[in-house]
Amino acid sequence: MVKHAVALMLSGIAPAGAVVAQSAASAPEVPAWAFPNTSPPFVAARLPYDSVTLLHVPNSTQTFTLARVKNTFAPPDWYPTSHPVMPPIVATGRPRAVWACGYCHLPDGQGRAENATIAGLPVEYFVRQVADFRTRARHSAVDTWGPSSRMNDVADSVTDAEVMEAARYFARIRVKARYKVVERAKIPVTMQVGGLYAVSPAGGTEQLGDRIIEITEDVERHELRDAAAKFLAYVPPGSIARGKVLSSSRATSKAMACATCHGPSLRGAGLVPPIAGRSPSYMFRQLVGFKTGARSSATSGPMQAVVSGLGTNDMIAAVAYAASLTP
């Protein structure tokens, strides 16, 4: 049943090479590959809301219907013992007003490639980011990027008390290693699916070039919002070593070392968030946001200065290295 549903979903997927609308000519380049599912050829999947058939994922005793999996106000919790008791804003949100945090970011805050891992974030940093979404000091460099647009909508309606409740809840949860970074010149042909990529059933290989192509290792588990599902990120050869130089030394005049603010192991320092072991494509989009001014709050100045002199290859290398570390 799951495979049948996913097959229906895949029928609307555009190829990885589809082009997304770019930013204004005067703005820095916004790579289309970093924003899958925003290309004009992409047709959003419309899965049948089966409210009868019980579905399963590996290593979970829970069962949910597809209708429940897609319920933005009661997302599935496949591993209820892996996290503290969820507060209402995480478990159910506010129906018709605010989506449950656990729908996009998952009940344990591990997130997915298309959105943030919010587990383990400092409380004050968490609160500040929601405030930035509310004022639009933080938005996407691509207007049609759904995850950021939805956060702007959530921030407009969520209360300060709910934000604090969610921040304190997620701060208590440890981040899990879910992203494997692999250097390759050639990769399997991919297609866009659910905010990232998947290997095309048609087979074949393609040149990676100067891109990060992050794929789900199991489309079914990804679509069922399984918090234990794994991701694989292809990056150009030499990216991790180059990123280590950018992170831990000042051998380059282009940027301040990442470790200066994010800590020697990139696991955060004070109110500066951890970036080790996070999704590299998510982190790359944030660097693009700082560079284009899509992230422009009062506290964005240092990061804007860092990325101002970085090219696409530098940013790929920096996030590839950070993602390769243990969170």
pLDDT, residue 182, reads 98
DSSP letters spanning 89-106: HHHT-BTTTB--HHHHS-
Q: Tokens for 237? A: 């050869």
E strands, the chain, where?
A: 179-183, 186-188, 190-193, 196-199, 205-207, 213-216, 231-235
How far apart are alpha carbons 301 and 25 in whole angstroms? 23
CB atoms within 10 A of CB 41: 12
- Lowest mean pLDDT of 38-42, 61-65, 102-106, 255-259, name the range: 38-42
Residue 251, pLDDT > 70, answer no
Amino acid identity at 39: S
Q: Give tens-digit pLDDT for 238-248.
A: 999 999 998 88
What one-character DSSP code corresponds to residue 18? P
* Domains in the chain: boundaries: 2-171, 238-327
pLDDT over 70 for what percent of the chain?
Answer: 86
Q: What is the pLDDT of residues 54-109, one digit of tens each?
A: 999 999 999 999 999 999 999 999 999 999 999 999 999 998 899 999 999 999 99
- The pTM of the full predicted model, rounded to 2 decimals, is 0.89
Judge whether residue 8 has pLDDT over 80.
Answer: no
Q: What is the DSSP letter of 71?
A: -
Query: Could you tell me if 79 and 228 are in contact, meaning their C-beta atoms sit under 8 angstroms apart?
Result: yes
Calpha distance 222→231 (Å, rounded):
9
Average of per-residue pLDDT across 198-227:
94
The CATH number, out of the four listed (3.40.50.300, 3.20.20.70, 1.10.760.10, 3.40.50.12170), of the domain defined by the range 2-171: 1.10.760.10
The predicted structure's pLDDT at residue 162: 98
Q: What is the pLDDT of residue 111?
A: 95
Same fold across 2-171 and 238-327: yes
Share of the chain above pLDDT 90, in %: 74
139 conformational bin, left if phi > 0, alpha if psi -120 to 50, beta if neither: beta
Q: What is the mean pLDDT of residues 132-160?
A: 95
State the average pLDDT over residues 126-145. Answer: 96
Partners of 180 in the beta sheet?
A: 232
Angle of helix 123-135 relative to helix 160-171, nearest 10 degrees? 140
| Residue 255: predicted pLDDT | 58
Which CATH number is associated with domain 238-327?
A: 1.10.760.10
Helical axes 239-248 vs 312-324, angle rounded to 10°: 90
